[in-house]
Structure 1
């Protein structure tokens, strides 16, 4: 401690006569605070643990790692056989750091979170704590069954009761010859100094102690009662609350956490896990850095109760890549009195409800020394079990943080569940509106994976910026899936294959066609911008004040990105946006729904598509969600789609019901982030996978995805007044779907002798798809249709398909797929259909 610094234990020492006696660094390592506890009123507050006091992540990690190196030297050749055990909640990160220092030893920490389906390998009580039950839940029971040294890590070693209780229970099951106890501070009293030697003799094993500093606390007579009275006095007076500014913007940053790497040591953490985490840390830190506000000079990475190591390592990696002061601490269950005095260790506290469905029921949780600390940004890191509506509630952690920092980011680490635990055993994951009564395994004939992959993001997957959309898809870029259009059509119509089992060869537009696209974009950008604004305002007014946009890949994805941009620019809302696959006849990707339910409230999810044709996908989604609810027991997903254009009158939430050209329909992947349409084939997509898609990196030179987005979003300001007027009018109108498009399609199907509504594709967007992907028979165009159909006429000319003008047509145009197609068939005019 520097001479001009006030010791953060002086306030308690002066009022209660408490003395901290010991090694010279003890005052630098510890401060003092008070808490309401019937057993011990004072609290030793570590300055280097990263729990109550924000500290440099390098300092926090460095202390644990250095202790691990000392253990390594102590054990010598036995270090390679050691297993490290840390204590929840306070020492989970410290223990993990110690394990890193002991030649990257396997690591396990105790937990207060039961996990159904995972057998207990032990448990014990913590005598002085406010929450006593500790469980040991290793994925591999053999982790504790070896005969190598067991290293037990806690932040403080005082009476030694907790650690000796642990060793006594484990030694009865798995006897071994050597134990090492590690603590930041050895605070045993003179009366307790000999107990460890006596205990070692009792169990017949060697027990060593390694600590960064040692000392003791001298407590005067009656200190417990005096401390309790002091706490009661200050609580009655009310704690000082730092002035809160306007609530900050809260945004989510997707980490890209490596699949299969545990979030910590609750079920064990191996050398292999550590190697994969080390490899992934720089990229995850870069994603956080990219999401921080420009000019941030002071950043706090805030972990969550037992989740200490993952946010610590993220903070330390972030410290290396940004030019800002990074600090690290975590939330806690421990209630401590806050006193805004430089001589007191806890200057402020934030109180919020528990948000992880705790086994001990709802209750208060705390974050200390965050309010009033002047952080420019706070990165809250939680596991997915804690990513619940309660986290985002008006009185939840994120809202509380937003009152005390200009910017708040949320980063979620997937909660790890051992592979052998049943789906029902993942009860500790995000609470749902209705508990699952049927395991996922029952609905799919296989066991649900413990962790579903995090969304794919650009630039690794798609040409969109990583914050614009997360793709809940499997990357099949290295698989050859393309087949000639005619072969695909014949296989689909003959029943030999489903259209989603292969991909059409990507259409390469001619210079003339590209010119048509750019002309159409210039002409229609303002009209599209207005429709984007109207549908977004409708969603915000009727569906959710903070919706989770889920685009139906891929036509819905550009629309979802534009809706997200509108919400951000007009309302400052940084909405989560994902893209998922839905396949006609096979439903929506159930694994994607499971991931969404684990990370968001299903009631906030709004499905987004580009346009409606006859409404087949609208019906497909409703049917699929009913089936999903029956099989998984997850409720709350709303089946209605929000679309840019609804010419078929199939939905209530839309930007317009006009059938006009949306330029994103003119092209395939080159206007959709270079992503293919989605693929569902059993040999490529397993029961534990998302549906697949390809990223066409090789088409980057032709990509206009972001040109389209920018051209439309650049018009947002000029259409704002029109959006407000139209949205107000629509919100007051009767928008009940009439399904007139479906009726028209049925009529056309019969009139033209097709007798299959799936081969009738109404609207400009669907007609364009027919010409780009299928074997078209003829195009019906509304008489007098103008420039909206220039690209359709060009494509039809290139493919030798007749365009027939029809006076009475509810759509601008309709594409008819050749019925009963076989290669060599001819069109109505006698021309060969297959080129």
Structure 2
């Protein structure tokens, strides 16, 4: 019986004695583990590793970790706790306050057979800690879960692991070589490369550090792309010699960077001469006949279980795993474990949770939750399948007792090949048998080859539960016309989820009551689309004819300001939907005046709930955030300007990705931005209509029942309104006047740029005065300006309209809409407000509305 299977009080055999006696391999402890004595005199190298023989022409021996859970079924709490403890060493190295020194004792107790010690170790290391901001990189395939665990210990870290599985839709950030490995190509495929660009320490995590060559190769490749001042290398065991250690530090000096190394234990592996040939001879002599790999007692049944995996949660760190993903997984684990437990035999006493190659973290955490939820006398173990070819010898002094071999079942890029599961079959010792196996794979590996290979072999061993996790794939793709919206595809990429098939419209009064009572947020539903009367449509056309040249001039001014601020590489991001026609017009001006083809996206921002984070991630993966300019139609009292600034600040704090909060608008009567075409409150005809002047797209929707964590915010495409669509007519009318105003724009621009354009927020003060005069405490019920007043009349329950007597030219449509809805219009003195008009939402539903 090995240390891995021994019970308290039983003789413990080191699972490396067999190799040591035949090949002369010797392990020697180092001067002491890194970490200010955290594990000193508690854990030796032989506690953390056993030995096996590789079937590999490059290296004869294999160190088999007793705490990694890769090749050897292990208590998942011991695996996770060891990773968290390694993360504790990283925390100290990054300057965080040290944690509980008793954790080292708990690890030693767990390794020496005290079952509750591993559980206590996890509990203690998962207590709330101050988050440490870092980027953590784990090595595929053996260290993917270990890297996750280190990132978990840091709290605020973003995590990515390398992969040997190319994934369509993800571009390679970098690659490096693990020279001694049987499969050396590593890929980095982050879904958001900007996360990797943050100026934070980079932590590299592997299960063992033998020479340091892999570390040097990795840091060299990544430093060329994004130089850093501080790297930390974290490994379960550090086996480098003095020359290897000196080489890493010399390399750090050439980079002008700091490279620290931490490990749970240090030491050396002493190898005799000729070990490679001796190891190959040993493999040849023992491979035929092979040791028995299965029990002849099956087949048992296979049950599929739906884990209820949270929508949008990545299956692991192959494309990035953020702190919010970690929180989501933590919240879902108990429920998922309950679903698995319901499919286990009632008398199960020894259960294996078996992961799949790089998919190690999700099965590990699930195994830990299962162990926590099942009765204490049920022994839950965790391990995974692997690509590594290792000799199996059914001897207590050997780390790899049995081997299952089966064809690859995930259609790997390197073609079909053999894969392995070690120590799953009991061999000659029936006490090592599992009476239930939970196989956790991703859906890319759920293929006919799985059923015919690995699954068929597991059925011969024990009742098997198959749990499939959805593979993380590229994020949502933009929508384009004519499939979504009536604008040409080249004019705008809608970063929205198509909700056209969903009934979201509610009667205006019912919707207003729910919003003001706090029972619903305005973004969760849609108003019924206003159907303009023939008279109103004529009014729109007349207004467009009258204002097209004025609009063209404002478009020219604001586009030139954008190009002055961001340069010819500017990226336009309009705030859907009012900003989208303006973004298109700016894009067309840039092409007309400069021959530029500016990218243009439309994204959602919601008052009180922020900006679409998924959309920002999509943009950042393709463009420099510093080049982005946000575009809207007009300002009212500045609520969206404030929301944008706050949302982008929170996004930068969470991701390190900084989008400038500048907002460019055609009209800024609220005086809350420095980038505007005019500060006059005039009729912008696109405010007169809803979807029929905005590409037949609805206002945006953020309804948690419809929008998952990985989705863009939503919207509807009203294709049935195509006969009334004025979107193209509006754009064409304005673009037709570009030539008439181009000379004036060029002439006026220097003076406009030199003028004082600083916001003074006088519009907000005017709104406060209106509220006081009309007894309205909730300023969200006051909508200043022609555009916002139009929205009140079209979407909300209006109470009254305040109109300046000197603004009749821009208020014809306001008076028509007010008359249609029976809303009184009160004339006020021009000096009372800087706006042409103000719309007041009826407060009869209660104050304190959620807007």
TM-score (norm 1): 0.51
Matched residue SS, 2:63: strand
Matched residue SS, 1:45: strand
User: Is the alpha carbon distance of 1:447 and 1:234 closer, same or farther for their aligned partners in structure 2, counting shifts above 3 Å?
Assistant: farther
Q: Report the equivalent of 2:407.
A: 353
- TM-superposed CA distance for 1:199, in Å, is 1.3
- TM alignment of 1:85-234, pairs within 5 A: 85-234=137-286
User: Is the alpha carbon distance of 1:272 and 1:224 closer, same or farther for their aligned partners in structure 2, counting shifts above 3 Å?
Assistant: same
1:403 lines up with 2:460 in the alignment: yes
Matched residue SS, 2:132: helix
Q: Report the equivalent of 1:59.
A: 78
User: Is the alpha carbon distance of 1:295 and 1:251 closer, same or farther for their aligned partners in structure 2, counting shifts above 3 Å?
Assistant: same
1:370 lines up with 2:427 in the alignment: no
1:293 lines up with 2:345 in the alignment: yes
- Cα distance in 2 for residues equivalent to 1:409 and 1:237: 31
- Cα distance in 1 for residues equivalent to 2:146 and 2:299: 33
Q: Report the equivalent of 1:384.
A: 443
- TM-superposed CA distance for 1:69, in Å, is 1.6
- TM-superposed CA distance for 1:39, in Å, is 1.2
Matched residue SS, 2:337: helix
1:321 lines up with 2:373 in the alignment: yes
**Residues 135 and 157, structure 2, Cα contact 8 Å, conserved in 1:** yes
Q: Report the equivalent of 2:388.
A: 334
- TM-superposed CA distance for 1:25, in Å, is 1.9
Q: Spell out, residue by residue over 1:686-739, the C-alpha distance to the aligned partner (whole angstroms, 9 max, x if none).
A: 9999xxxxxxxxxxxxxxxxxxxxxxxxxxxxxxxxxxxxxxxxxxxxxxxxxx
Matched residue SS, 1:194: helix
- TM alignment of 1:582-593, pairs within 5 A: none
Q: Report the equivalent of 2:647.
A: none
- TM alignment of 1:501-520, pairs within 5 A: none
- Cα distance in 1 for residues equivalent to 2:205 and 2:389: 23
- Cα distance in 2 for residues equivalent to 1:270 and 1:293: 36
User: Is the alpha carbon distance of 1:440 and 1:228 closer, same or farther for their aligned partners in structure 2, counting shifts above 3 Å?
Assistant: farther
Q: Report the equivalent of 1:756.
A: none
Q: Spell out, residue by residue over 1:517-536, the C-alpha distance to the aligned partner (whole angstroms, 9 max, x if none).
A: xxxxxxxxxxxxxxxxxxxx
Q: Report the equivalent of 2:321.
A: 269
1:8 lines up with 2:15 in the alignment: yes
Q: Report the equivalent of 1:414.
A: 470
1:47 lines up with 2:104 in the alignment: no
Matched residue SS, 2:150: helix
**Residues 146 and 206, structure 2, Cα contact 8 Å, conserved in 1:** yes
User: Is the alpha carbon distance of 1:101 and 1:327 closer, same or farther for their aligned partners in structure 2, counting shifts above 3 Å?
Assistant: same
Matched residue SS, 2:359: coil
Q: Report the equivalent of 1:552.
A: none
- Larger mean CA deviation between 75-84 and 292-301 belongs to 75-84
User: Is the alpha carbon distance of 1:262 and 1:183 closer, same or farther for their aligned partners in structure 2, counting shifts above 3 Å?
Assistant: same
- Cα distance in 2 for residues equivalent to 1:329 and 1:64: 15
- Cα distance in 2 for residues equivalent to 1:479 and 1:334: 59
- TM alignment of 1:769-788, pairs within 5 A: none
Q: Spell out, residue by residue over 1:406-464, the C-alpha distance to the aligned partner (whole angstroms, 9 max, x if none).
A: x10000000001215799xxxxxxxxxxxxxxx999xxx99999999xxxxxxxxxxxx
- TM-superposed CA distance for 1:122, in Å, is 0.4
Q: Spell out, residue by residue over 1:595-621, the C-alpha distance to the aligned partner (whole angstroms, 9 max, x if none).
A: xxxxxxxxxxxxxxxxxxxxxxxxxxx
User: Is the alpha carbon distance of 1:451 and 1:51 closer, same or farther for their aligned partners in structure 2, counting shifts above 3 Å?
Assistant: farther
Q: Report the equivalent of 2:52.
A: 33
**Residues 240 and 339, structure 1, Cα contact 8 Å, conserved in 2:** no
- TM-superposed CA distance for 1:238, in Å, is 2.4
**Residues 440 and 447, structure 1, Cα contact 8 Å, conserved in 2:** no
- TM-superposed CA distance for 1:179, in Å, is 0.3
Q: Spell out, residue by residue over 1:365-385, the C-alpha distance to the aligned partner (whole angstroms, 9 max, x if none).
A: 100000013111000000011
User: Is the alpha carbon distance of 1:192 and 1:398 closer, same or farther for their aligned partners in structure 2, counting shifts above 3 Å?
Assistant: same
- TM-superposed CA distance for 1:4, in Å, is 2.3
Unmatched 5+ stretches in structure 1: 424-438, 453-473, 481-682, 690-835
Q: Spell out, residue by residue over 1:18-46, the C-alpha distance to the aligned partner (whole angstroms, 9 max, x if none).
A: 11111552111101001121111110000
**Residues 391 and 397, structure 1, Cα contact 8 Å, conserved in 2:** yes
TM-score (norm 2): 0.50
**Residues 302 and 379, structure 1, Cα contact 8 Å, conserved in 2:** yes
- TM alignment of 1:638-657, pairs within 5 A: none
Q: Of 11, 18, 21, which residue of structure 1 is paired with 2:25?
A: 18
User: Is the alpha carbon distance of 1:477 and 1:133 closer, same or farther for their aligned partners in structure 2, counting shifts above 3 Å?
Assistant: same
- Cα distance in 1 for residues equivalent to 2:46 and 2:193: 40
- TM-superposed CA distance for 1:359, in Å, is 0.3
- TM-superposed CA distance for 1:355, in Å, is 0.5
Q: Spell out, residue by residue over 1:329-349, the C-alpha distance to the aligned partner (whole angstroms, 9 max, x if none).
A: 000001100000000000001
- TM alignment of 1:815-830, pairs within 5 A: none
- Cα distance in 2 for residues equivalent to 1:160 and 1:219: 17
- Cα distance in 1 for residues equivalent to 2:81 and 2:160: 20
1:72 lines up with 2:91 in the alignment: yes
Q: How many residues are aligned here?
A: 455
**Residues 69 and 384, structure 2, Cα contact 8 Å, conserved in 1:** yes
User: Is the alpha carbon distance of 1:357 and 1:242 closer, same or farther for their aligned partners in structure 2, counting shifts above 3 Å?
Assistant: closer
- Cα distance in 2 for residues equivalent to 1:214 and 1:167: 22
**Residues 240 and 340, structure 1, Cα contact 8 Å, conserved in 2:** no
- Cα distance in 2 for residues equivalent to 1:310 and 1:13: 35
Matched residue SS, 1:302: strand
- Cα distance in 1 for residues equivalent to 2:278 and 2:477: 49
- TM-superposed CA distance for 1:79, in Å, is 6.6
Matched residue SS, 2:12: coil
- Cα distance in 2 for residues equivalent to 1:451 and 1:186: 49
Unmatched 5+ stretches in structure 2: 4-8, 31-42, 97-129, 427-431, 508-702, 712-851
**Residues 477 and 495, structure 2, Cα contact 8 Å, conserved in 1:** no
Runs of 4+ in 1 over 4 A off after TM superposition: 420-423, 445-452, 474-480, 683-689
